[in-house]
Amino acid sequence: MAKSIDVSGLNIYYGDFLAVQDVNVTIKARAVTALIGPSGCGKSTFLRTLNRMHEVIPGARVEGDVVLGSDAIYGPNVDPVEVRRTVGMVFQRPNPFPTMSIYENVLAGNRLNNRKLKKADADAIVEKALSGANLWSEVKDRLNKPGMGLSGGQQQRLCIARAIAVEPQVLLMDEPCSALDPISTAAVEDLIHELKTDYTIVIVTHNMQQAARVSEYTGFFNLKAAGQPGHLVEFNKTSKMFSTPEQESTEAYISGRFG
Amino acid sequence: MTTTDASPRVGRRLGDLLFAGTARAAGITILIALAGVATFLIVEGIPGIVTTQSSAFAGKASFVSYTWPLVFGTVLAAVIALLIATPLAVGAALVIGFYAPRRLATPLGYMIDLLAAVPSVVYGLWGATLLAPKMQPTYAWLADHLSFIPFFAGPASATGRTILTAGVVLAIMVLPIITAICREIFAQTPALHREAALALGATRWEMIKMAVFPYARSGLVSGVMLGLGRALGETMAVAMVLSASSAVTFNLIGSQNPSTIAANIALSFGERTGVERNTLIATGLVLFVITFIVNFLARGIVARGRKGS
Ligand SMILES: Nc1ncnc2c1ncn2[C@@H]1O[C@H](COP(=O)(O)OP(=O)(O)OP(=O)(O)O)[C@@H](O)[C@H]1O
Ligand SMILES: [Mg+2]
């Protein structure tokens, strides 16, 4: 189910503006990869190229290749909609659909794939996804209540449940905990730990401790200089990144001597 | 110290007071104007309702039998207009907002907005002299082939100046306002929810169904109701297009068509005097009440939509 991602020679543009330059990296399957770096260096931009969400912004485009398992997702005959069905995404701010119940929110992706979902199958998917997102026990008695009625942390786990309900091959998370309190953050981090046995996970975070806690691999993005495109400075095992990084700027950033 | 502190605060309070006063005055003015119109319609209208002068009802027995066909025609024309205009407006707003490349979307938007700038008398001329004759063959065909549907019972009007033609003209007239409101509310759909749908692998249309329509529903209703208000009150175009009698019929393509309240007032005001005029004013009161009811209903729907979301 989980697949690795091979990125080569990736340049990412907003119109004429080159936001991220020449990324080459291999993201391992069934592992958590954290992306860190200062604000504006292109972490979110890069993440969104992995499920072709980048191009929904008018004028946005990429050059280079991203290969998921053995499929080039930017190949000429690839439908971005199909890519997004196999690469799930969780956003910085929880975004359950406001008019849908908790139950329907979880099923939103499945309903796209399969209109005539049997009630029993649907129930099973909802329970599995919500259990997978550590939310089942909290909401099982109010599945038909609106998803917006949950707390922020619960909403975020609902969004994770929605993303894993379609059993994607990869799960992308863009600062999934930045709008959450420490307890909800811990719940989501535990969840990430459990999910990595089944999924390839890429997570953007500003929180070094979080990167160190949840990930096996870490990529450090930085700007070459102000006004220059972002690039991937270093990619390594997290343990190495946080003890003996190869690049000086990585070390400076991680130890907080950044400027 | 208190004095130096107090003076700027007093200044600010004065500004607040001024603003609150102006706002309140504006609100009260609107209420007074509304009350004035209502009072006028009631005071001037009642003599026209209770009168025994038969010429006031144009040969009809009572005010009710005089006004009922007009109410029927008014509502029918407006409903036809909305049935045509709403899907067109929603479609146009979707194309402009989500499908057309920006190069095309902007001029398209301007063009639809421009439709609102055309005076209604021009629509009337266009409808009566160009559209109606062009529609006539279609009506003849409908009467020949689909006459089992009550709406197309026929016989077809020879001029094409039917309630359906009036409805089409009205539809074009209300199209810009509904489109503008739809565009506005579609554009306000939070990017967060649009991206949530896209990231799940929704196509553009699925994204619109999942994230845009649920969010836009109540705004859509207000837009349609605004269009309805305009269609109910539109005078000139209907007066010119429609060849009216006082029939009450769902046959949309025949030569016997109900008139609308507004068009009837415009057409017969000149030839009426005394209490006959009061009767017309009373029909105006009825239109006023209908518009009010429509607005209240719309508010109800919008409020319920809010609760649901
Ligand atoms: N929609 C957009 N249109 C144009 N430029 C954009 C857009 N979104 C981001 N950018 C630019 O791309 C660059 C990278 O932005 P990005 O959001 O990827 O940074 P980030 O690393 O995620 O930052 P943060 O940590 O603050 O989220 C920035 O220079 C930003 O201004
Ligand atoms: Mg970001």
Enumerate residues lining ligand 1, CB below 6 A.
Answer: A 14, 17, 19, 37, 39-45, 57
Say which CATH architecture domain A5-254 belongs to.
3-Layer(aba) Sandwich (3.40)
Chain A hits for B216, Cβ within 8 Å: none
- Copy the structure tokens of residue A119: 């009630």
Please indicate whether, in this complex, the C-beta atoms of B214 and A98 are within 8 angstroms of each other: yes
- Of A160, A221, A162, A158, give the one whose Cα is nearest residue A196: A160
For the stretch A24-65, pLDDT in tens is: 999 999 999 999 999 999 999 999 999 999 999 988 999 999
B191 touches chain A (CB under 8 A): no
Residue nearest to atom 27 of ligand 1 (CA): A39
Q: Please answer whether residues A3 and A200 qualify as being in contact, where contact means their C-beta atoms are separated by less than 8 angstroms.
A: yes
For the stretch A125-170, pLDDT in tens is: 999 999 888 889 999 999 999 988 898 889 999 999 999 999 899 9
Least confident of A13-17, A88-92, B253-257: B253-257
- Of B109, B44, B12, give the one whose Cα is nearest residue B265: B44
Please indicate whether, in this complex, the C-beta atoms of A98 and B309 are within 8 angstroms of each other: yes
- Where are the domains positioned within chain B? 51-308
Residue nearest to atom 17 of ligand 1 (CA): A44
Residue B170: partners with Cβ closer than 8 Å, 6 or more residues away: B77, B78, B80, B81, B85, B231, B234, B237, B238
Mean pLDDT value across chain A? 90
- Where are the domains positioned within chain A? 5-254
pLDDT of residue B195: 93
For the stretch B197-250, pLDDT in tens is: 999 999 999 999 999 998 888 888 888 988 998 899 888 888 888 888 877 888
Cβ-based burial of A179 (10 A; exposed 0-12, middle 13-18, buried ≥19): middle
**Residue A195 above 60 pLDDT?**
yes
Helix, strand or coil, per DSSP, at residue A78: coil
Please indicate whether, in this complex, the C-beta atoms of B210 and A97 are within 8 angstroms of each other: yes
Distance from CA of A46 to the nearest CA of B (A): 15
B100 touches chain A (CB under 8 A): no
pLDDT of residue A257: 66
SS3 labels along chain B: CHHHHHHHHHHHHHHHHHHHHHHHHHHHHHHHHHHHHHHHHHHHHHHHHHCCCHHHHCCCCCHHHHHHHHHHHHHHHHHHHHHHHHHHHHHHHHHHHHHCCHHHHHHHHHHHHHHCCCCHHHHHHHHHHHHHHHHHHHHHHHHHHCCCCHHHCCCCCCCCCCHHHHHHHHHHHHHHHHHHHHHHHHHHCCHHHHHHHHHCCCCHHHHHHHHHHHHHHHHHHHHHHHHHHHHHHCCHHHHHHCCEECCCCCCCCCCCEECCHHHHHHHHCCCCCCHHHHHHHHHHHHHHHHHHHHHHHHHHHHHHHHHHC
Number of residues written out for chain A: 259
B309 pLDDT band (50/70/90 cuts)?
A: very low
pLDDT of residue B45: 92
Superfamily the domain B51-308 falls into: MetI-like (1.10.3720.10)
**Residue A197 above 70 pLDDT?**
yes
End-to-end CA distance of chain A: 41
- Of B226, B286, B295, B301, give the one whose Cα is nearest residue B46: B286
